[in-house]
Amino acid sequence: MPPVMFSVITKYHKGRHSLFLYNSEIFYAFTQDILRSLLFICFNYSIHFSFVIFIIINY
């Protein structure tokens, strides 16, 4: 195999690998955002729910 062909293949492989890393980083950030927003929604809901129970008990 000529060395030029080898360098083209390694460049192509590195490019694909970096694209995979880039996609996985985007996916990681996306899942982190989803988890953070779900936690935030659950936290707000629990505060609201406990506040409603507090009002009902004190009523």
Residues in the chain: 59
Q: How far apart are CA 3 and CA 52, in angstroms?
A: 73
Residue 2 has pLDDT above 70, yes or no: no
pLDDT at residue 12, as a whole number: 56
pLDDT at residue 48, as a whole number: 66
Residues 4-50 have pLDDT tens digits of 555 555 555 555 556 666 667 777 877 888 777 777 776 776 666 66
Which amino acid is located at 46 in the chain? S
Greater confidence (51 vs 30) lies with 30
41, two tokens: 């929604």
pLDDT at residue 1, as a whole number: 45
pTM: 0.38
